Amino acid sequence: MATQSSSEPTDDQTTEPAATSAETPTDADTTTASPTEHSAETGAVESTTTEAPAPAETAAATTTPAEPAAAAQPTVVFVQAPQPPKKRGARGVGALVALLGTALFAAAYAVLVLLIAVIGSPAGLAPALQYLSSVTFYLPVIIFFLSYLLLVIIVNRGGWWAHVLGGFIVAFVVWVGFVGAALISASAIGASAAEVNSIVLQQLTNPLGFAAAIAAREVPIWVGGLVSRRGRTARARNAEARTAYEQELAEHRATLSANTAV
């Protein structure tokens, strides 16, 4: 009995076309990014990375504009204006001259007192010497110093003519002081009005009072030239100092104008 050939396939062994080793990819599996899209995405990433500033560059960009602003601030320089010169005067020299004049007045007044006493009577020399040591003699001397010192302070840099004219005022004040000293010497202070009037009338014609007035009139003429010379020197120096001050002040204003223009 013949056997059926094994080469024929059976129903169970129905063969199907063998699948090839390279399977055809499907649309879902084979969908890949196109080069254009990949490069666009890459470019976006690269552009994003490139545009982000570094922290150091950001700090430099922040601090750089502030440096020129700080350097542009103006520098303030204080310039002291020249001070006006102090005026020189003759009061210091005048005070010394007043002391000198007082000594001359006392000497001249004493000589006149002795001369009047000798002319009046030889026996009057002793009372004259006694008078030179009394308050009646020294009070006019003190009054002369104060009155002439006041005249020097008022005249200051005035000329010699001011001392000549002022001598009349000093002489009158000294004469009034002589009368007051006579009242003190006679203890008339606090006395009745009749007694005071009697003493005053006696002293109005007293030659010693006239001697005091004459000496007080002449001494300012003698020593007034020293004060007036000092006054002329002070005026010349004041004029020079004023000229120098005005020139320095003009230069100072020109400097300020130049700095303001710059």
Cβ atoms of 145 and 106 closer than 8 Å: no
**3-state helix, strand and coil shares in percent for the chain, rounded to the nearest 5:** 75, 0, 25
Q: What is the pLDDT of residue 77?
A: 57
How far is residue 118's CA from residue 102's CA, in Å, rounded to a whole number?
A: 24
CB neighbour list of residue 177: distance below 8 Å, 6 or more residues apart: 139, 140, 142, 143, 144, 212
Let me know if 195 is exposed, middle or buried by CB neighbors in 10 A (0-12, 13-18, 19+).
Answer: middle
Whether residue 77 contacts residue 260, with contact meaning beta carbons closer than 8 Å, is answered with no
Q: What is the pLDDT of residues 188-245, one digit of tens each?
A: 666 677 777 887 788 888 899 999 999 999 999 999 999 989 888 888 888 888 888 8
Largest Cα–Cα separation, the chain: 221
More confident residue, 111 or 23: 111
Q: How confident is the model at residue 253 (pLDDT cuts 50, 70, 90)?
A: confident
> How far apart (Å, rounded) are the C-alpha atoms in residues 236 and 166?
24
Whether the per-residue pLDDT at 167 is higher than 90: the answer is yes
Is the separation of the CB atoms in 153 and 94 below 8 Å? yes
Coil, helix or strand for 48? helix
Task: For residue 163, name the pLDDT band (cuts at 50, 70, 90).
Answer: very high
How far apart CA 92 and CA 229 sit, in angstroms, is 13
Judge whether residue 56 has pLDDT over 50: no
- pLDDT tens, 106-145? 999 999 999 998 887 777 788 888 889 888 899 999 999 9
